[in-house]
């Protein structure tokens, strides 16, 4: 019981920290997005420790936004993967301590060729912090949760940067779509701008569904069975209601299986249907998001109310 209370207390501290979200300056989001968008070369992402997966994910996401990006490991640095760099490139270091040996050793080489160095760290006075062109400090108050909170807040920061970069891409698409003379846009037209298709398996735990939901930013996640067919949905509204019902017992909630808390048999639409039909379904059922299925009842995207507002269809 004591161990359980300790875990629950840890989760509470993490969630409180996320709610406060005062770990970094909001201007940092715009500054990092600006450095990436102005770059005419390659965006190199270098992350240490348990943040390596963040580097992989961030590099992939900004590649989807139209930028050339690679996630580089310490081993690849040592084997000369960065030898073809130019002054048009940007290097993004993700290091909690700011004292990563591989990143420090490669920094003079990057500086010599005029590469912009952006560092995300919890230690602004560290070696990497001092040599950076753009320094982003992740401030963590709970020392015993330093690793976890640095990871979470860095995730929030990078997701916000990705969102800012992707908006520019989406706006171009929406303007082009508005200029079309045809009135009957299809659902396929809408989901073609979305590289995001949040999906979770019904056997996964709620924590995994929550990560998928928040990382994709569409306000919902489709739940599928072992064959990949739609069996349910979890929305932002569902999450809020579940949190209220949990009465602070976040550990139990996070470990619940998705199939036990999802909304079963959700409304959906197929890609060949018109946007008008999607609007009728959403208005008729008071919902803001609608999974899009293929002919095998497998989710291939989502239509969100915000998309329709941007197209001035509602």
**CA angle at 88 for the pair 85 and 91, rounded to the nearest 5°:** 65
- Beta-bridged to residue 134, according to DSSP, are 118
E-assigned strand segments in 95-152: 116-121, 134-137
Q: What pLDDT shows up at residue 132?
A: 93
Quickly tell me which residue has 């310490």 as its tokens. 74
Q: Read off the pLDDT of residues 145-154 as tens digits, 9 standing for 90 and up.
A: 567 778 888 8
Q: Can you list the domains of the chain with their CATH numbers?
A: 2-161 (3.40.50.10490), 180-310 (3.10.580.10)
Q: Read off the pLDDT of residues 122-175 as tens digits, 9 standing for 90 and up.
A: 898 999 999 999 999 988 765 555 677 788 888 888 988 888 888 765 554 455
Q: What pLDDT shows up at residue 229?
A: 94
> Which run of H or E residues covers position 232?
strand 230-235
- Beta-bridged to residue 93, according to DSSP, are 46, 119
pLDDT under 70: residue ranges of the chain: 1-23, 74-83, 141-146, 168-184, 192-195, 247-248, 307, 309-314
Q: What pLDDT shows up at residue 165?
A: 84
CA–CA gap between residue 257 and residue 72 (Å, rounded): 35
Whole-model pTM over 0.85: no
């Amino acid at each position: 019981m004591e161990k359980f209370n300790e875990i629950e207390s840890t989760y509470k501290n993490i969630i409180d920290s996320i709610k406060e979200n005062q770990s970094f300056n909001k201007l940092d989001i715009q500054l990092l997005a600006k450095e990436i968008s102005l770059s005419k070369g390659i965006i190199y992402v270098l992350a240490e420790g348990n943040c390596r997966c963040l580097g992989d994910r961030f590099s992939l996401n900004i590649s989807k936004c139209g930028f050339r990006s690679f996630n580089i490991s310490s081993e690849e640095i040592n084997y000369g993967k960065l030898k073809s760099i130019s002054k048009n490139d940007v290097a993004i270091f993700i290091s909690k301590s700011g004292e990563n040996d591989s990143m420090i050793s490669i920094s003079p080489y990057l500086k010599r060729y005029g590469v912009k160095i952006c560092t995300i760290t919890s230690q602004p006075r560290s070696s990497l912090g001092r040599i950076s062109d753009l320094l982003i400090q992740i401030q963590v108050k709970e020392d015993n949760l330093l690793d976890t909170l640095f990871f979470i807040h860095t995730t929030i920061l990078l997701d916000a940067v990705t969102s800012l970069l992707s908006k520019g891409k989406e706006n171009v698409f929406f303007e082009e779509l508005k200029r079309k003379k045809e009135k009957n846009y299809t659902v396929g037209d809408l989901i073609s701008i979305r590289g995001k298709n949040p999906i979770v398996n019904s056997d996964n735990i709620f924590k995994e569904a929550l990560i998928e939901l928040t990382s994709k930013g569409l306000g919902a996640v489709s739940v599928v069975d072992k064959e990949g067919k739609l069996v349910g949905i979890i929305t932002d509204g569902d999450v809020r209601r579940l949190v209220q019902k949990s009465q602070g017992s976040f550990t139990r909630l996070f470990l619940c299986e998705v199939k036990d808390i999802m909304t079963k048999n959700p409304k959906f639409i197929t890609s060949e249907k018109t946007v008008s039909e999607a609007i009728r379904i959403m208005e008729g059922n008071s919902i803001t998001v609608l999974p899009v299925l293929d002919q095998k009842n497998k989710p291939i995207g989502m239509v969100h109310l915000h998309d329709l507002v941007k197209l001035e269809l509602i």
